[in-house]
Chain A
Amino acid sequence: MKKEKIVMSVTIAAVCILLVAVMSAQFRTVEETDITGIETAREEELRTMIASWKTKYEETSQKLEETNQKINEYKQKETSNEEMTILLDKELLQTNMLVGKTDVTGEGIIITLTDNENVEIEDRDLLNLINELKLAGAEAISINDKRIVNMTDIVVVNDTILINEERVTSPYTVKVIGNQKYLSSALSLKNSGYIDKYTSLGKTINMTLEKNIKILAYNSGNNLMEFKYAKEAEEQ
């Protein structure tokens, strides 16, 4: 009788140990598990989550596409604007070069006219030279770094030569950019050429060919380039 009771007690104790151990383990598991976590979520929850994420993803990708399209449009506009700007810049540069507002470099010749004991260089000599040079295809000319532009005047006032209304004195260094061959051959024609003609009159003229000449921009303080009377004609 007593043995039976002991066996029963031990058995029930063992059962209790098992039951309570499993229960407390289960409590801990349930307590410690984050139900919202993906690893522990149930299949249906996962399914709904995937579905909602998919919708979100689709919406977002659609938005992304729209935004990309907009960006492309803006880019196209920008490039067209840029092209316009480049074109305008080019045109402006050309115009500036044409009117002599920029420094220019290139091949050409340098002519030096110097007063000597017998003869002085006159304004007419310079004018003639410039004319000849222009005929020979000169693209940019300067005399003693005074740029010759379309409004340039070369005059004599009180025995001094004025270019762009500024004094220049001997020696007169004429820098010319253009085709070297044309320029030099035009000036050095036998007898009728400029150099021969004026050397025979006893004037000192030197000509050198240069590969790289720099001619400065028109920078006179006088506003020769401002038009007061001429206006752009309206097209009809």
Chain B
Amino acid sequence: MIFIAIIIGCIIGALIGINIPTIPYTYSGYLAIAIIAALDSVFGGITSTLKRNFDMKIFISGFFVNAILAIALTYLGEKLNVDIYLAAVIVFVGRMFNNLGTIRRYYVEKLTSKKIIAKAEATIKQANEEK
């Protein structure tokens, strides 16, 4: 159910994105930061799902608030003549890598444990047959 929702959402989103007019180049910097923040939230959500402590409210609020905060900080940095968006990029991308690492580890461990279990079961079966 959730997978279908994700796929349909992606397709509709792509269609909308292709059909809306292009954003002025001046604002595309803000949008890029917002996208990175949102992606970070998405990976965070996946990680928390795997850890079984996924909370819908936290995910949605993180998704929007992080994006808006990133845009606001970038704007502030522009006003202060400091490239704050670099800090935002570093933080979000760093977290994304962390989350990706967690996801990878989860699946690798799952795979290995499956193999071990299979091996153990095989051994047990063999022992039973020998008896």
A residues adjacent to B (C-beta < 8 A): 5-30, 32-33, 39-40
Contacts and interface: CB of A to CB of B under 8 A. Distances in A.
A189 to B, nearest CB: 106
Contact of A19 (B1, B32, B38): B38
Interface stretch (B3-11, B99-107, B111-119, B123-131): B3-11
Nearest to A32: B22
Contacts of B9: 12-17, 20
A26 B38 CA distance: 14
Most chain A beta-carbon neighbours within 10 Å: one of B10, B18, B38, B63: B10
A27 B20 CA distance: 12
A33 B23 CA distance: 10
Contacts of A24: 13-14, 16-18
Contact of B5 (A9, A22, A33, A40): A9
A21 B42 CA distance: 15
Contact of B20 (A11, A13, A25): A25
B16 A17 contact: yes
Tier of interface size on chain B: 20 to 34
The 5 closest A-B CB pairs, nearest first, are A16-B9, A24-B17, A20-B13, A13-B9, A9-B5
B4 to A, nearest CB: 8
Contacts of B4: 9
Contacts of B31: 22, 25-26, 29
B65 interface: no
A27 B14 CA distance: 11
A20 to B, nearest CB: 3
Given A9-B5, A16-B6, A20-B9, A26 B35 contact: yes
Interface string B15-36: 0111010110100100110110
Contacts of B13: 16-21, 23-24
B56 interface: yes
A22 B10 CA distance: 11
